[in-house]
Each structure stands twice: as structure tokens, then as C-alpha cells.
Amino acid sequence: MTASNTDTTLCFATATDLLDGYRRREYKPSEVLADHFAQIDRTNPLTALGVNALTQEMRESAAASALAADEAYARGGDLPPLLGVPLVTKEKHAIAGLPVTQGLGVERGQIPEANQPIVQRVLDAGVVLHARTTTPEFSCASVTHSKQWGVTRNPWNLAAGPGGSSGGAGAALAAGMSTLATASDIGGSTRIPAGFNGLVGYKAPYGRVPGAAPLSADWYRSDGPMGRSVADVALLQSVMAGRHGSDHASWGEHGDDYLQHVLAGTPDSLRGVRIAYSPTLGGFPVAASIKANTELLVSRLVAAGAVVDVVEPRWNVDQVLDTVFSHFGSIMGAALLQEVDGDRGQLSGYAQVFVAKAAEAAGHGTLVDSLVKDAVMQQELARLMDGYDVLLTPTQGAEMLPADGNFTDGIELEGGHYENYMASHMTMPFNIANRCPVMAMPTGLSGVGVPTSVQVVGHPFDEATVFKISAAVESLSDPLGHPAGC
């Protein structure tokens, strides 16, 4: 598929534009929702040509919410900040009364009694919640298929995966099935699908967005927003972020205005900004088209007055993977095995690989050894970024991953064969250093027609700088449009 240069339907509008249109009475939330439902009918069905990004639709309740939003705009007055904007949630983000299976089969589903904090917060902000999105099993992969839900495909190239684990969220947004989406990230699960689908995804510092116990205590993880622009992501982050009594690791004020940082991010604001640019992030294999698109962006940053220096960390891909899987072996791998009562045969191939690699890494050391590995990489990142405002690096090195891939035999990438297919992603160092805010945003199309992406990485907890610089970077980038056929 190739890009279309013009958007002809409301389902591809940004949240910012929709809210402006609602206030001007140019269209109604019910009309926008109807357009999204029509788009779902066109693009989502599970066929050879379908995207298959949704696990469940909630048309009746969404239609009622949209009509209520119509009436609220007609009355005027103080309105919730995202009133009438269509949003889909990642299936793992619990909605009261609806089963959460994480792709492991309905017999393992749990029925939550309450909404997860971020779900409640987006509902309180007035969104029209109309569907839930697919994930790989237990959100453990960067492809999105499962025995329960089948294969989710990338709308830009149906042979390609949409990334993962928030792959359904990315595919749904790219195909025009929603305007906003909730996502989560423990190794790149927000940024990878944002990157592969031509979207913007944000990984907040650990605890900035409240999570669900017990895995909210995992210091690699983060829930967060995905959208079509930095401004949209700022709007959604503003309502999701902030301390919550159910997550003792959560911090910061709820309702902070992230959009103010976006509005400050003009091209002129780049003058004198110091950017550390890492082309390979310590030797990750990067495809030629991704290198070319990143270099074009770097040249535009320099032309805008930014100071850009090429840097490379003193780590390598094997060290990154070893550090990450030492952590996964102690927490996420063990949690996944517990979910299936130790029976690996119930899992798809990629999940079996994940569990095996996590168990192998855990067998080579203790949790304390894992913490030592984390600290080594965190200190190296601090050294690398010293004297710079942000770090810029590609989001992933691979142009695509096959939609139905299991990677039981590894993967062929630039430079040769890798036993672990996650060598195709450059996101993991910033889960190891998970106090760093990171924005993933598009840079163009790869040689196979799948979007490419960069990460804007900030110093620990410095969200304002990341949003401001990301907005300026976005203003220098050519718009992708949306996938042809959608």
C-alpha cells in the first residue's frame, strides 16, 4: 500500500481538529463516530485483506455517549477536555464487567469489577470509547497475533505486522478506526507500533501514568497515549497522567497541561538546542531506508539551527538483550508462565521463545545481578547525554516484521542473522532507563512502504523538553497521509 495525500473522511482527523470542529459546530460527535464505524466495517474484518485490530466493539454504548456529547456541545459551557473524541483501549486495560484475556483464551479471562485508572480517566475526560484492541499473548511480542484473535496486519502493508504489543492500537489508528488509543510499553510496546504505523507514541517516565497491580510495580513498564500528532498525544497524556491511590509508584499532578509544551515547540525554538544523534544506538542493525530518512531529518534540524553531534553508546546489541531478558526472566516471563499454569504448549511460538529466553537469562544470575546490568546501561546513557538536551535515534532498525512471524529460528537483519528478533528494535535501552521520557514519531516510508520512525529521548523526568522538541521536529517532517485503500 502507498500513502494517500488527502484525507477525505473525519476518521483520519486529529483529535485537535475534531475538538475544534465540535466547538465550531461544523460536525457532531455522532457523525464522527458513524464515520469510524463505517471505516471499521471496511477495513477490520478478519480476512486475507483485513487489518483485524479489534477484539471487541461497543457500538451501542458508544453511540449513546456520542449523542450525549452532541447535546453537551449544543448546550455549551464548561465541557470535558476530550468530549466526543473516539478512543480505543488496549485489551489489557481493564473495563469493568468485560473480560480481560490478554490473548490467552477466553477460559483464562478475568472479569474486573472496576475500570483501570487510565480507562476511568479517559471516560471522565469525555471520550467515546467504542472498541478494544488486539495484543500478542500477554503483550510479550512486537508482532500482534494470537491463537485467540488471529493475525493483526499493518494497514500500510498487509504482509507486515503492526508492531507490538500495542499492535492493535497502532493498526486501528493507522486504518482510521479511531482517533486516539491507549497503549503500554515494557520494551517498546507503544513506540514500536507507533513507528511501524506512522503515528506518535509516548513512553512516560516510570509511574507518571498509573498502572494496574501487581505488574505496575515493574519498573520497566509504562502505560501511555498513542495518536496522530504530538498535540493529540499531549491532550491524552494530560488526562491520563498523575498520581492515583491504586498505584503507589504513580506521581505528579493529575491534569497537568502537556499541550503548553507542544505550543512552545516551533521550528525557531530549535535554534541552539543540543541534540545527541545516535545512528545505530550501539550497533543495532539499521536498514538503509531508515538511515536515509533519519539523516534527512537530521539535516533539517541542523538547518533550523540545532546543534547535532553524532554519538554512540559503549554498549552492544547482545548486552542490551542480555540486560532486558535478565529482567524479564525475573518478572514478566515468570508471570506469563504462571498465567498458563506452566504449560508452554498453550502458547504461540513467539511466546514460547520469549519464555525460554527469559528463563535462560534468569538462570544465569539473580535479581541483584539484573539490577547491576541495569545500572551499567543507565550510567552509560547518562554519560552519552551529558551536555545535550535530548538524544535522537531510530525507533527500529528493521523495515518490517512479517505479520504472522514467530521467530523460532531468529531473524535475518542488516549485517546477518540474530537469534533474538528483538534485535530489530532500538527501544529497550529506554525501558532499562525508564525514568527517561521518550517520544516516537514518523520520519517517512521505508523501502517496503512501511513507515519509519525516530525516538526523542529526554533526561530523567524532563517531559517538557521532550514534548517541546518533538513538536518542533514534527513541524519539520513531511506528513505521511494515510494508507491507500483505507
DSSP per-residue codes, 174-236? HTTS-SEEEEEESSSTTHHHHHHTT-EEEEPPTTSS---TTGGG-TT-EEEEEESSHHHHHHH
pLDDT band at 339, cuts 50/70/90?
confident
* Whole-number Å distance between alpha carbons of 174 and 134: 14
Per-residue pLDDT tens digits for 215-265: 999 999 999 999 999 999 999 999 999 999 999 999 999 999 999 999 999
pTM of the entire predicted model: 0.96
- The answer as to CATH 3.40.640.10 being correct for domain 3-483 is no
Burial of 223 (0-12, 13-18, 19+ CB in 10 A): buried
Mean pLDDT of 110-116: 96
Neighbours of 331 (CB within 10 A): 21
* Whole-number Å distance between alpha carbons of 109 and 93: 13
What is the helix (H) or strand (E) element at residue 383, kind and residue range? helix 367-385
* Whole-number Å distance between alpha carbons of 339 and 327: 18
What is the helix (H) or strand (E) element at residue 453, kind and residue range? strand 451-458
Per-residue pLDDT tens digits for 161-197: 999 999 999 999 999 999 999 999 999 999 999 999 9
Mean pLDDT of 323-349: 90
* Whole-number Å distance between alpha carbons of 73 and 26: 11
Q: Are strands 274-277 and 390-394 parallel, antiparallel or unpaired?
A: parallel
pLDDT band at 325, cuts 50/70/90?
very high
Q: Are strands 451-458 and 390-394 parallel, antiparallel or unpaired?
A: antiparallel
